[in-house]
């Protein structure tokens, strides 16, 4: 799973504890409103910034009507957030026992329309002390747009929903990437007694920070000299940020010297990673939940948390929970995908101009192949599927000046390993041009040796064609 924080970011790290989600009166509503004299104690009082705990004197307490049998208060955050905790100030002059039997629920859609909530936490039958400010930390991953404080049971008619102030702590999300236990692996697993603390515990939705009591912390073995944890997302994602909850009972300093890497292919097979972020030699605080915002726009299928150095044998890779925030990078149907590149291989033949127009209609361009990786990928697809004699128009021509081959965007095509068969100046329209229709457009075709290479062709011939679109990279 995964996230990006709106809050204070220093060197790519955002501490989510204390990251208050701003809420104004227009964002809150309730099932009913308590009225005393000419004053309505509506839900706007719960987010007005007033912490006075005397109901009448301070006039900053929210309450529902005594006749309300199913009291609740809703908060519309306007966009999706990962909720970390809820802090509630209780009334102090009297009646503090009413702050009981309340579930803090999180919904993706407006809860007045129904739906199944995610439960952040529950206030049981014993209320916090009068005038207290109590923080209720979510016991599981809960994210959505709507928060509901739902009083699920009333002792009597006077047992209303009532509170002075509510403060939400969380992280704004683009989109959490769902990750199951079957998608994670690690270089080793720590064993304590008969319990294995495998990587599935890092994505089980549990935020309990006590290693033994909560049994939701992942750890590698003490003897592992190169500890890592891998996540296979199943398809390509643009990774925006990684949020990690640290162990709280002891040993929090172990969450250090870790590189968060993104790979196109399974990293156990090698390859060069894109670096999202680095956790340096100073670990986040014990029990904290910290967001590491990616630098750049790393895209790939595999995420690796790579502990690149160990202070001693006991300096293992260890964390309570990891949440990934990102955007799936998926090409349209009938396209072949290479990272953010979406290739379309036509099943019919047209002229160069018609091929260019068709590619534009489907939101792409005739393929302007610029890298060896793109060339190798296309050649591999064609080797497996193209028939003998097929040629494919690509986005290269010398119609612009007749003496240099250029991409459709106008830049000159450099001659290199995959463009070398294309000779600058071929097919010029000088007085000595021997043919009526010179070969001013480029195709990708198979040579006599059975290899795919670039060549020049008459633009009015009908050939197959290759389109290329690039998946957009969100800017916020």
- The architecture CATH gives domain 13-172: Sandwich (2.60)
Are 39 and 59 in contact, with CB atoms under 8 Å apart?
yes
Query: What integer is the mean pLDDT of 146-151?
Result: 97
Percent of the chain with pLDDT over 70: 91
pLDDT at res. 174: 64
Is the per-residue pLDDT at 13 higher than 60?
Answer: no
**Predicted confidence band at 14 (pLDDT cuts at 50, 70, 90)?**
very low
| Burial classification of residue 476, based on how many CB atoms lie within 10 Å of its CB (0-12 exposed, 13-18 middle, 19 or more buried) | exposed
**Where are the CATH 2.60.120.260 domain residues in the chain?**
13-172, 181-328
Listed in sequence order, the residues at least 6 apart from 396 whose beta carbon sits closer than 8 Å to its beta carbon are: 368, 405, 406, 407, 408, 413, 422, 441, 442, 454
* Domain spanning 336-470: CATH superfamily: Mannose-Binding Protein A, subunit A (3.10.100.10)
**Predicted confidence band at 3 (pLDDT cuts at 50, 70, 90)?**
very low
Query: What integer is the mean pLDDT of 82-107?
Result: 95
Give start and end residues of each alpha helix (H) in 311-370. 352-361
Is the per-residue pLDDT at 425 higher than 50?
Answer: no
Question: Side-chain half-sphere of 464: how many Cα atoms within 13 Å?
Answer: 17
pLDDT at res. 185: 97
**Where are the CATH 3.10.100.10 domain residues in the chain?**
336-470
Q: Taking the model in full, what pTM does it have?
A: 0.55
- The architecture CATH gives domain 181-328: Sandwich (2.60)
Nearest 5 degrees, angle CA 299-CA 301-CA 303? 85
Closest to 202 in 3D by CA, of 295, 299, 303: 303
Is the per-residue pLDDT at 430 higher than 80?
Answer: no
Are 83 and 168 in contact, with CB atoms under 8 Å apart?
yes
């Amino acid at each position: 799973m995964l996230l990006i924080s709106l809050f204070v970011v220093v060197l790519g790290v955002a501490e989510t504890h204390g990251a208050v989600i701003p809420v104004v009166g227009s964002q809150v509503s309730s099932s009913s409103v308590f009225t005393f004299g000419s004053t309505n104690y509506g839900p706007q009082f719960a987010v007005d910034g007033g912490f006075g705990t005397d109901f009448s004197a301070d006039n900053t307490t929210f309450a529902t009507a005594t006749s309300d049998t199913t009291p609740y208060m809703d908060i519309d955050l306007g966009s999706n957030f990962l909720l970390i905790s809820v802090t509630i100030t209780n009334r102090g002059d009297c009646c503090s026992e009413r702050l009981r039997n309340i579930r803090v629920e999180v919904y993706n859609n407006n809860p007045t329309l129904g739906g199944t909530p995610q439960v952040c936490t529950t206030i049981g039958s014993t209320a916090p002390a009068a005038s207290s400010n109590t923080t209720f930390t979510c016991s599981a991953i809960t994210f959505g747009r709507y928060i509901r404080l739902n009083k699920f049971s009333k002792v009597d008619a006077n047992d209303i929903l009532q509170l002075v102030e509510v403060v939400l702590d969380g992280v704004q999300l683009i989109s959490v990437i769902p990750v199951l236990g079957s998608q994670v692996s690690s270089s080793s697993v720590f064993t304590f007694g008969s319990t294995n603390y495998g990587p599935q515990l890092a994505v089980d939705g549990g935020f309990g920070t006590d290693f033994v009591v909560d049994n939701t912390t992942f750890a590698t073995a003490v003897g592992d000299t190169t500890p890592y944890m891998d996540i296979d997302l199943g398809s390509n994602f643009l990774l925006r940020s990684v949020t990690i909850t640290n162990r709280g009972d002891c040993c929090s300093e172990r969450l250090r010297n870790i590189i968060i890497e993104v790979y196109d292919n399974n990293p156990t097979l090698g390859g060069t990673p894109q670096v999202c972020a680095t956790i340096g030699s100073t670990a986040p605080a014990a029990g904290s939940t910290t967001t590491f915002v990616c630098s750049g726009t790393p895209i790939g299928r595999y995420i690796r948390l790579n502990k690149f150095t160990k202070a001693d044998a006991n300096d293992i890779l260890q964390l309570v929970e990891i949440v990934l925030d990102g955007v799936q990078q998926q090409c349209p149907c009938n396209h072949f995908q290479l990272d953010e590149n979406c290739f379309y291989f036509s099943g019919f033949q047209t002229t160069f101009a018609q091929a260019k127009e068709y590619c534009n209609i489907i939101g792409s361009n005739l393929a302007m192949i610029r890298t060896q990786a793109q060339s190798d990928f296309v050649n591999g697809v064609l080797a497996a599927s193209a028939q003998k004699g097929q040629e494919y128009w690509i986005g290269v021509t010398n119609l612009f000046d007749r003496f240099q081959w250029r991409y459709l965007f106008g830049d000159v095509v450099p001659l290199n390993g995959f463009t070398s068969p294309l000779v600058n100046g071929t097919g010029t329209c000088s007085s000595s041009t021997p043919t009526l229709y010179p070969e001013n457009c480029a195709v990708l075709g198979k040579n006599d040796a059975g290899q795919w290479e670039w060549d020049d062709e008459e633009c009015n011939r009908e050939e197959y064609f290759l389109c290329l679109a690039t998946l957009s990279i969100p800017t916020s």
